[in-house]
Chain A
Amino acid sequence: MRKLFQGSLIIFLSGLVLIFLSCTPLSCIGETESYVKASLYDKVLKKLHSPDSLTMYGLNMETSKLYDKTLNVQPAHIPLNASATYCTYIIRIDGLTDTLKFWYNSYPHLISKECGYTYYHTLDSLTFTNHLIDTVLIRNKRVTTINEENIRIFY
C-alpha cells in the first residue's frame, strides 16, 4: 500500500512539473511586415548600385517619409497599402524625382498565435516615370515577410 502511494505520488508530482513547463507564454518573434523588396541597379553596368541619397514617401504623405536622404539603401523595403488595390510612391534618387505605382491584391496571412495576422500581397503590375528610373522588373510577385527580392529598379 505504501509502495502504491509512493508510485502515485511520483506520477502526480511529475505531472505537476509538466503543467508548469507547458504554461510558459511565448512572445512574438520574427518579421511581421510584408515589404516589396526593391534592389537598386546601375542601368549601364547592370549591377547592384546603392544610391548616394534616397528619399521615398507615399503620395500625399510627404510629412511621413519612408526614407529621407538615406545613404546606401540596398534593398529598399516598400510597404503596400492593404486597404487599397494600388498605391503610389514618390522616389527621389540623387536629387531626381520619379513616381512608382504598384497594383496588387492583398490577403491575410497568419504569422503565429503570438504575432497574429499580417497581409501578404500579389503584385499585378507597376508603372513608373522615367526622369531617372530606366526600367523596373518584377522578379517575384509574392510579397511576403520572407527576405526575397521582388523588384529590380534600374537607374
Chain B
Amino acid sequence: MKRISAYSISLLLILISNFKQVKAQDTIVFPLKIKVGFEVSGPAIYYSDKKNLNSEGYISADFNEKVSIVIGGGYLNYNYSQYNYQYLNKGVFARAGADFNLLKPEKALGKYWAGIGLRYSVSHFSSEVPSFQKDNYWGTATSSVVQKTDWGHFLEVSPGVRAEVFRNFSIGWTISLRMLLYSSTGNDLRPIYFPGFGKGADKFNSGISYFIVWNIPYKKIKVIIEKEVPEEPEDTSQPGNIQQTNVNRP
C-alpha cells in the first residue's frame, strides 16, 4: 500500500511539474496601451497649399491583445473653386468604434498592428456655394446657395498597418472605406466634400490617413499563445517496407 501511495504521489508531482513547464512556454507578457494618434497628411497638405485644413486624431485603449476601443474626431475647413463654381465647407466630425489586430500576439508584441478598424461616424458642417454659373442655349445663369448647416452619418471600415519605430512612438497608415448612411443635405445639394467623409456626391468613398501615434503602456497581461504543433509525417510506407523494417531490427 505504501509503495502504491508513493508511486501515485510521484506520478502526480511529475504531472504537475510537466504541466507548469508547458504553461510557462505558452504564455507571453503583452503590454496593453492607450494610444494617442494624430493624422499628419492633412496639416502637411495645408502647409503646402494654405487652402484646405483637415486635421484629425484619436484616442484608443487596448481592451485585450486583439481589440482596441477607439474614439476620435477632427476638423475640416474646405475651400474649392473651379471655372464654374466656388464651394466652402467647414465643420467637425466624431468617430467611435474598434480596431482588431489580425497579427498573432507573439508577432505583434504590442508594437506592431496590422488589422482592420470599424467606425461609426457623425459629421456636422456648414456649407455654402458663394457663386456658380451655368451656360446653356439661353445664355449664362449665375446664382448662389446660401450657407446652411447639415449632418452626415456614415460607417467606416479601415484596414491598415502601424509599427513602433521608437520607444512608445508608432507610425502607420490606414485606408478608409466609407459608406454614407444619411445626409440631411438632400439629393440636389449634396456636399462636394464634408468633414470626416470626403466627397459627398458619392454614397461610397475612400481615403488614406497617415498617423503618428504616442503609445502609453498602462497594463501588462499574460497571453496564452497557441504553439504550432508540427504535424506527424504521414506513414507512406508499404506493407512490404514494414516487413523489411522488421527484418532489419535486431
Binding site for B on A (CB under 8 A): 4, 7-8, 11-12, 14-15, 18-19, 22, 33, 58, 61, 64, 66, 79-84, 87, 106-110, 112-113, 116-120
Contact = CB atoms under 8 A, between A and B. Distances in A.
A82 B138 CA distance: 8
The 8 A-B pairs at the shortest CB distance, nearest first, are namely: A81-B138, A82-B141, A15-B173, A116-B85, A79-B137, A109-B188, A116-B84, A117-B132
Q: Which bucket holds chain B's interface residue count?
A: 35 or more
Nearest to A12: B171
Contacts of B84: 116-117
B191 to A, nearest CB: 8
Contacts, number: 85
**Most B CB atoms within 10 A — which of A12, A15, A82?**
A15
Given A110-B190, A110-B192, A120-B188, A18 B175 contact: yes
Contacts of B129: 108, 117
B139 interface: yes
A80 B138 CA distance: 7
B208 interface: yes
Contacts of B184: none
B162 to A, nearest CB: 8
A83 B132 contact: no
Q: Helix, strand, loop or mixed for chain A's interface?
A: mixed
B208 A108 contact: no
A66 B112 CA distance: 65
Interface string B142-181: 0101000000000000000111110000011101000000
B180 to A, nearest CB: 14
Nearest to B81: A116
A66 B136 CA distance: 11
Contact of B165 (A4, A58, A87, A108): A4
B110 to A, nearest CB: 14
A12 B41 CA distance: 13
